[in-house]
Structure 1
């Protein structure tokens, strides 16, 4: 099974972040523009939270708050579950399943180096499964 660092190397995409003092409306516009479901929240160079579509729906819409008058800091999730570059993708899949989360920030010595989504993990698992099936078929047919 691959490690987090191996998957990040294949992924080649930019980490999208936002400051906690930005209005939720602006965060939503950025998420729409980038076609993503979450933003990592950075303050003074440190990861302090994550803002997700789920945060928006549960902490803002259902409470009748306005996205134009609410700051990201007021609705972001701050209890983050993170992974390290050397962690396996199996471990990451276990985390997202058990913790019922969709995003895993990747920290290396406390420094943010990437983020994995449940989609990234599923795609990698399916690719590995397909490779295993192809190897078994080749072995059987030889």
Structure 2
């Protein structure tokens, strides 16, 4: 099972930078950043600390449905708080459990108060599927009497010498 640190390293280079927004910035600016960067949420950072997360869901539920204006509403008025975070040592299963139990779609990764990344539920599901597919492949090879030398990725027959 991969750790959060390993998953962050695997994310595509263009997805490794975490885009943030300040709590005093207007919701319209947050929407522009989310659209421009093709992300569904932004960590809200004040004085270098994550103080909330603002998402498209927050916009729909706390601005549109309440008749507020995205031009005159600060991000702090609609951001989700308190912030649930994980550190880089957590594994994928733990993160999925946290997100499921807390009904979250985005999970900031914070280490010693520093924002390292943002995981989406899509990131975790993609990795879980890849790990399950790898396990299935290994089990199929075992059933066929093969094994994989993971140090060289060579297929070998059981009982054969490498």
* Both proteins in one fold, TM over 0.5: yes
Specify the alignment match of 1:50 in structure 2.
53
User: Deviation at 1:141?
Assistant: 1.6
Specify the alignment match of 1:14 in structure 2.
17
Specify the alignment match of 1:94 in structure 2.
97
- Partner residue of 2:73 out of 52, 70, 73: 70
Q: Quick check: 2:50–2:83 contact (8 Å CA) kept in 1?
A: no
1:79 to 2:103 alignment: no
Specify the alignment match of 2:111 in structure 1.
108
Instruction: Identify the structure with the greater helix proportion.
Output: 1
Whole-angstrom CA distance in 1 between matches of 2:79 and 2:125: 25
Between Structure 1 and Structure 2, whose CA radius of gyration is higher?
2
How much is the aligned-residue C-alpha RMSD, in angstroms? 0.9
Segments of structure 1 that go 5 or more residues without pairing to the other structure are: none
Runs of 4+ residues over 4 Å off in structure 1: none
User: SS where residue 116 of structure 1 aligns?
Assistant: strand
Segments of structure 2 that go 5 or more residues without pairing to the other structure are: 146-162
Q: Quick check: 2:85–2:109 contact (8 Å CA) kept in 1?
A: yes
Structure with more contact order per residue of length (Cα contacts < 8 Å, sep ≥ 6)? 1
